[in-house]
A and B are shown apart, each in its own frame.
Chain A
Amino acid sequence: MSALLAQLELHDRSAANDCVANNGICPSWIADNIDRYWSPFLQHLYLTVVSVAIGFAIAFGLALLAHRRRWLAPPITQITGVLYTLPSVAVFFLLLPLTGRGNTTAVIALVAYSLLILFRNMMEGFANVPAETRDAGRGMGLTQQQLLWRVELPLALPEIMAGLRIALTTTVGLASLAFLAGAGGLGEALFDQIAFRSNVLVAGGLALLLAVALDLLVLGVQKAITPWTRAVST
């Protein structure tokens, strides 16, 4: 009986090896190796969340500034536009003499890329606040500061959150290149065995899954904090 089992196991293993040798999509290989993807996945998540959080803070500061001082909006758009145009891979290596290799370099490049998306959506959100609503706020005696935090910002939230979603999904994609800056992530696992189908499917699939999950998470948060949009949305 045990001899039979051993044979069975032997047979099973050789089938799995065949699958790997034939460059197939091997469920047993994936089940055996899924642990290897955990740490690149977490690193990918870390790069994405840290970069977008820093990018959001900077873009928000810039948007508040440009909202107060209108003439600042075009130059800020242009500068963030150039940062957006610079290819991330190029930025990784242009930073080499300054920050070396590693997380810092990758995060700086990803932050630089996200600024335009976030800033533009924030300005769009502010621009879409109806003038009548602003007037009503002023008529109720709100100060400039109160108007911003209690009227303009809540009404701009849909655009701001839309920008956040675009920035997150885009950054997940770009973080796949962070391994070139020595910051690991799923891209590293992907390129480790780029011609092996099972590996490409798992590493690429996890990146895609991460993007979709973060997107849905922000969408959920947005729905929760803007209850009034549900009443009027078409």
Chain B
Amino acid sequence: MDAGGEHMTTLAFLGDFGDAFDYIFHARESQAGGAKVGGAELLPLIWTHLEITLIAMAIAVAVALPIGLALGHTGRGAFATISVSNTGRAVPSVALIAFFIAFFPRTPEFWNVTVALALLAIPPILTNAYVGVQQVSRDAVDAARGMGMSGMQVVRRVEFPLALPLIFGGIRTSTVNVIATATIAPLVGVLTLGDPIISGTVHGRAGQIGASIVVAVMAITAELLLATAQRAITPAGLTLERDPSSSRTLKRRIQTAP
């Protein structure tokens, strides 16, 4: 108690938030006693949260990217793509998770949640890939064809690199959404960082606020990391082409959300 005394006074003036930070960095007894919460005990929760996010995003990219590129390349399916994205936005994420839990009771909860999140992540990636390829200038595609490239080569070497900024924009939107939505997974028994938030009686107010801070930091970190990666892989020519005086940039994302 004495050892922690000095530490407590420095944080005490922050009240609830101080206590929340204390919860993040130091394990403590749970509200009812008998279990350790907070501090290092958060690590498994963070890990599950990341695991769900990564698997869901991998599934979503593997499904949505080829379809988006193919539809964009052929120019077909504009109506279908827009419908998928509009419907996807209207489906509440909780309802989708609940749907999987109620209708596939034998599948492990982890997979029900992961697949539901993957489905939520698909529309932004699909729409952005489609629009990204569609907005590639016809001249560039014609030039590539004139050089004797096959359809596959045009996609791989011209359309895909030129569409990358938008594709990455879609992946960013989806990743942040998935991290946010994975917070409610504990409602169906999958222990992510949402557990301290939802099980307030075990973790206390400090746990609820502390875990919220960690989730928020995680979402912002993912956004920043992906933004950096997006800048790194954007072909140099595209960055030059951007007109700084215009408020519209090539990197603008198409808005779709959970």
Chain A residues packing against B (C-beta within 8 Å): 23, 73, 82, 85-94, 96-97, 117, 120-121, 123-124, 127, 163, 166, 169-170, 172-174, 176-177, 180, 186-187, 190-191, 194-197, 199-200, 203-204, 207-208, 211-212, 215
**Min distance, Cβ A94 to any Cβ of chain B, angstroms:** 5
B residues less than 8 Å from A97 (CB atoms) = 15-17, 209
* A94 with B213: CB separation less than 8 A: yes
| A174 CA to B93 CA, complexed, in Å | 8
CB contact list, B202-231 vs A, under 8 A: 205, 208-209, 211-213, 215-216, 219-220, 223
Q: Known contacts A23-B102, A203-B95, A204-B99: does B183 contact A85 (CB below 8 Å)?
A: no
* B216 with A86: CB separation less than 8 A: yes
Residue of A nearest to B200 (CB): A93
* A180 with B92: CB separation less than 8 A: no
| A121 CA to B220 CA, complexed, in Å | 22
Chain B contact residue count (CB 8 A cutoff):
47
Among A73, A117, A174, chain B packs the most CB atoms within 10 A around the CB of A174
| Other A-B pairs, 11, CB within 8 Å; known A180-B197, A191-B187 | A23-B102, A73-B247, A86-B219, A90-B212, A123-B247, A163-B255, A169-B90, A170-B258, A196-B102, A200-B103, A215-B90
A residues less than 8 Å from B258 (CB atoms) = 170, 173-174
| A200 CA to B216 CA, complexed, in Å | 29
Main secondary structure of the interface of A (DSSP, over half): helix
| A88 CA to B257 CA, complexed, in Å | 12
Q: Known contacts A87-B215, A97-B16: does B179 contact A190 (CB below 8 Å)?
A: no
Among B86, B103, B209, B212, chain A packs the most CB atoms within 10 A around the CB of B212
| A23 CA to B209 CA, complexed, in Å | 36
* A82 with B220: CB separation less than 8 A: yes
Residue of A nearest to B217 (CB): A90
Q: Per-position contact with A for B78-109: 1 when CB-CB < 8 Å, else 0?
A: 00000000100111111110110111010000
B residues less than 8 Å from A92 (CB atoms) = 212
Residue in contact with A85 in the complex, picked from B187, B205, B209, B223, CB distance below 8 Å: B223
**Min distance, Cβ A93 to any Cβ of chain B, angstroms:** 4
| A85 CA to B226 CA, complexed, in Å | 13
Q: List 14 A-B contacts (CB under 8 A).
A: A85-B219, A87-B181, A87-B216, A87-B219, A89-B184, A89-B194, A97-B17, A174-B92, A195-B102, A195-B105, A200-B101, A200-B103, A203-B95, A208-B91
B residues less than 8 Å from A172 (CB atoms) = 90, 92
**Min distance, Cβ A128 to any Cβ of chain B, angstroms:** 8
**Min distance, Cβ B84 to any Cβ of chain A, angstroms:** 14
* B94 with A177: CB separation less than 8 A: yes
Q: Known contacts A82-B220, A87-B216: does B95 contact A207 (CB below 8 Å)?
A: yes
Q: Known contacts A85-B223, A93-B197, A195-B101: does B209 contact A170 (CB below 8 Å)?
A: no
